[in-house]
């Protein structure tokens, strides 16, 4: 194991994460080539970079371990804060010693014209640290990414809020003889959905709200007050690794996808996608009809749908659709991993392509996502919505009611418009 290989791997993984959030990056090298320290700084200056990040693996005696991060002594406060945050994030991620922010006259820090940090990820000379460097390069990249993303004004909500809620769920389940990950996760998701998704229909689909909610509200007001802004009506977006998440929507939909393994035998369970994208799409069909009759009388149904679907104020907004898709994936490991861990694992490696594969393969029945057209995707959506799992289900009248505006069921033009607009979104992921 060589430092040059380890740090190149971490750097390229970090670059991919930043690129995925719209932050343009350049590498001083992408292969096993050598550049002098002066040349690295010169390249960064020529690019006009906003931030220079130099990634290293430290070395000392075998007993020394931990992480640290450097700036030049003349660096501004924001850069020094970033340095301290990066070392803290890595230490927290791996449970290793935080050697903290330090200052040094290193060439790459001295010669670069922009804010610059030098990250000593861990000690390659220590066997425990070396094992982390060799096996968990993506985790190093994720830890650094979070802090850089935050530095550029895109705050990443600390998942420690969900970690804390999960720990309390473990304690509650232990006190009440509720066994297994499934029980713990049901408590967590019931808390996250309890403000907005607790009406009679939701109780039928996913069961009653757990007493765990009152346990938290009564005994742990601090965590309740911290989480409430993210789960109430008109919620504040929850950010994980740069992804905006509607926590309550995500929680309710995830419960919907696993309802057959909770309170309902599969024979009577509502089809899982009803609580996710199917229910939201049905509501969108209703709204397209409404908009055609009231606000956009002279526009075609397709034009209306293209403006409405994924719109910020839509019942089928982008954040809703993304939560519906993510819930499919999260539900698959619901009984094996704690929900806070599922969130961390999912969003730390999520890409648009992965989202596309989740819904097209897992929910719409495609074998792969290659060579698909919008028409193919739209047809699959139609078959799902109007077939035996959708409006043709024994309880399909409930789903159809969602799609009905003042007694008027969707016309074929409305169906086509809604299905096509949703298909376009999935195709372009």
Whether 172 and 140 map to the same domain: the answer is: no
d(CA 310, CA 331): 23
Whether 280 and 367 map to the same domain: the answer is: yes
Whether 96 and 218 map to the same domain: the answer is: no
Would you say residue 141 lies in a domain? yes
d(CA 252, CA 204): 13
d(CA 376, CA 420): 10
d(CA 102, CA 109): 12
Query: What string of DSSP letters covers 109-129?
Result: HHH-SS-EEEEEEEETTSHHH
CATH at 49: 3.40.630.40
Structural domains counted in the chain: 2
d(CA 51, CA 115): 5
- Is pTM beyond 0.95 here? no
pLDDT tens track, the chain, 429 positions: 789 999 999 999 999 999 888 788 999 999 988 889 899 999 989 888 899 999 999 999 999 999 999 999 999 998 999 999 999 999 988 889 999 999 999 999 999 999 999 999 999 999 999 999 999 999 999 999 989 988 887 766 668 889 999 999 999 999 999 999 999 999 999 999 999 999 988 888 888 999 999 999 999 999 999 999 999 998 988 888 778 899 999 999 999 988 744 444 444 567 889 999 999 999 999 999 999 999 999 999 999 999 999 988 898 999 999 999 999 999 999 989 999 999 988 988 888 889 999 999 999 999 988 889 999 999 999 999 999 999 999 889 999 999 999 999 999 999 999 999 999 999 998
Whether 108 and 175 map to the same domain: the answer is: no
- 3-state class (DSSP) for residue 34: coil
Domain boundaries, position 315: 161-427
Would you say residue 156 lies in a domain? no
> Which residues are designated catalytic?
120
Strand ranges for 180-278 from DSSP E: 238-240, 243-245
Whether 99 and 194 map to the same domain: the answer is: no
Count of residues for the chain?
429
Would you say residue 216 lies in a domain? yes
Whether 225 and 135 map to the same domain: the answer is: no
Query: What string of DSSP letters covers 293-347?
Result: HHT-TTS-HHHHHHHHTB-TTSTTBHHHHHHHHHHHHHHTTTTTS-HHHHHHHHH
Whether 228 and 354 map to the same domain: the answer is: yes
């Amino acid at each position: 194991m060589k430092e040059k290989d380890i740090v190149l791997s971490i750097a390229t993984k970090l670059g991919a994460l930043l690129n995925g959030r719209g932050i343009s990056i350049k590498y001083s090298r992408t292969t096993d080539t050598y550049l002098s320290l002066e040349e690295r700084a010169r390249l960064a200056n020529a690019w006009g970079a906003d931030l220079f990040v130099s990634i290293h693996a430290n070395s000392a005696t075998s007993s020394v371990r931990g992480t640290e991060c450097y700036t030049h002594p003349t660096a501004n406060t924001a850069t020094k804060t970033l340095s301290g945050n990066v070392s803290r994030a890595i230490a927290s991620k791996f449970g290793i010693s935080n050697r903290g922010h330090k200052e040094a006259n290193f060439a790459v820090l001295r010669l670069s014209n922009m804010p610059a940090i030098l990250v000593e990820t861990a000690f390659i000379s220590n066997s425990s640290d070396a094992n982390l460097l060799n096996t968990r390069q993506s985790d190093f990249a994720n830890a650094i990414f979070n802090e850089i993303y935050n530095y550029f004004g895109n705050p990443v909500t600390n998942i420690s809020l969900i970690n804390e809620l999960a720990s309390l769920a473990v304690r509650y389940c232990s006190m009440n003889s509720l066994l297994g990950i499934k029980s713990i996760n049901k408590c967590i998701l019931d808390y996250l959905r309890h403000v907005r998704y607790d009406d009679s229909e939701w109780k039928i689909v996913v069961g009653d709200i757990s007493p765990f909610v009152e346990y938290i509200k009564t005994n742990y007001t601090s965590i309740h007050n911290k989480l409430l802004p993210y789960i109430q009506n008109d919620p504040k977006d929850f950010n994980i690794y740069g992804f905006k998440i509607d926590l309550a929507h995500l929680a309710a939909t995830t419960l919907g996808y696993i309802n057959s393994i909770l309170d309902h035998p599969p024979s009577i369970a509502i089809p899982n996608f009803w609580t996710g994208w199917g229910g939201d799409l049905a509501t969108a069909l209703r709204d397209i009809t409404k908009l055609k009759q009231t606000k956009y009388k002279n526009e075609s149904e397709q034009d209306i749908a293209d403006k409405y679907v994924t719109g910020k104020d839509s019942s089928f907004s982008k954040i809703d659709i993304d939560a519906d898709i993510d819930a499919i994936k999260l539900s698959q490991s619901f009984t094996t991993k704690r929900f806070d861990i599922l969130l961390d694992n999912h969003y730390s490696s999520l890409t648009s392509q992965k989202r596309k594969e989740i819904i097209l393969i897992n929910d719409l029945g495609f074998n792969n996502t290659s060579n698909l057209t919008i028409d193919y995707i739209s047809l699959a959506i139609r078959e799902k919505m109007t077939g035996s799992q959708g409006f043709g289900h024994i309880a399909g009248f409930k789903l159809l009611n969602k799609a009905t505006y003042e007694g008027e069921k969707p016309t074929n033009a409305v169906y086509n418009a809604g299905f096509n607009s949703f298909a376009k979104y999935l195709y372009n992921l």
